[in-house]
Structure 1
Amino acid sequence: MKALLLSAALALPLAAPVSASASLGGTPVTAETLVDRAEMIRIADAIDAAVDAKDWPVARSFFADEIMVDFTSLIGGDPATIPADALIAGWAGNLTDEKTSFHLRGNHRIGFDGADRAVMQSHGYAWNRMDRGAAPENGGDPLWEVWGSYTHVFERSEAGWKVTAMTFTAMAQRGNSFVRDTPGS
């Protein structure tokens, strides 16, 4: 079961689907899992808030030291295991003070794989604005936005729940790819 959940978390479009309960409704809420569920949702939402606030140390605090990431639906390439510090450095390099972002997440569904591991799926929306994108030579539009789904794998550590894998699968995007692809100055 662990292999199936991790596989689904890393390559949703290509892997066998997570069980129907985990992917559609999660596992039932019980007194034993209520606090853990609330903490995982808080962490996923807090990652978005920290990224939008450009508070990189807070964003980093929610991840294990190494993380499997898959953003291939947006940027191509292959899923990879990287240091969490590298993930945060990449986000910080793209989302500088010149670029404003807004992330929104909802429809959280959590499936547990034992007491210390869980997979959360959620819907996500991200909006980026960079005034330089409005220049005709840069595409003429200061906005870029994307809708999709996230899969976060959580593992309990001595420091609490940490994200060990993160996949974003884009469903639709619109706007100026210059804004998405160009780091702010």
Structure 2
Amino acid sequence: MALARSYFAERVTVDFSSLSGQPPATIASDDLIGTWAANLRGSKTSLHLRTNHQVAIDANAATVFSNGYAWNRMEGNGDPLWEVWGTYEHHLTRSGAGWRVDGFTFRMTHERGNPWVKTTPGQDRH
């Protein structure tokens, strides 16, 4: 988790509203990484891809646009598969420590499968 955390500013504005219905929020990056780690573990298998990156740099700020796809699979409640397609817009700032993500938006364009797989954290396998 430390490596993933090193790519983010202390706080990050996240917008998954098209996917979750929740409004954008500014949260501690440790909380963001912790939430991802808790959801994508054990019994949940996942693949997340980003492609076709376009970068715009303006002094010490940058915006990265890309296409995204995620595939999640977990047995236990009907159809074990959930998939989503969309676009990302990441905002970065540059400091003496380098470039860090300080905000991003995911705009869902399509999803299919079982939403239970998306919202249910994976369980550790014993």
Question: Which of 20, 23, 41 pairs up with 1:75?
Answer: 20
Q: Which residue of 2 aligns with 1:119?
A: 63
Structure possessing the higher radius of gyration over alpha carbons: 1
Question: Which of 21, 32, 38 pairs up with 1:93?
Answer: 38
C-alpha distance after superposition, 1:127-161 (max 9, x if no partner): 111122xxxxx2x2111110000000011122111
Q: CA shift at 1:58, angstroms?
A: 1.8
Higher strand share: 2
Question: Which of 91, 95, 103 pairs up with 1:157?
Answer: 95
Amino acid at match of 1:127: W
Q: TM-score, normalised by structure 1?
A: 0.64
Give the SS at the match of 2:14: strand
Q: CA shift at 1:90, angstroms?
A: 1.0
Q: CA shift at 1:119, angstroms?
A: 0.5
Give the SS at the match of 1:87: helix
Q: Aligned equivalents of 2:99 and 2:112: distance in 1?
A: 34
Number of residues of Structure 1 aligned to a counterpart in Structure 2: 123
Q: Aligned equivalents of 2:23 and 2:4: distance in 1?
A: 23
Amino acid at match of 2:36: W
Matches for 1:12-161 after TM superposition, within 5 Å: 56-113=1-58, 115-132=59-76, 138=77, 140-161=78-99
After TM superposition, which residue ranges in structure 1, 4 or more long, deviate above 2 angstroms?
none
Q: Which residue of 2 aligns with 1:135?
A: none
Amino acid at match of 1:153: H
Give the SS at the match of 1:90: helix
List alignment gaps of at least 5 residues for structure 1. Answer: 1-55, 133-137
Q: CA shift at 1:60, angstroms?
A: 1.2
CA RMSD of aligned residues (A): 1.0
Percent identical among aligned pairs is 55
Q: TM-score, normalised by structure 2?
A: 0.93
List alignment gaps of at least 5 residues for structure 2. Answer: none
Give the SS at the match of 1:88: helix
C-alpha distance after superposition, 1:69-122 (max 9, x if no partner): 001111112111100011111111211211111011111111122x21111110
Higher helix share: 1
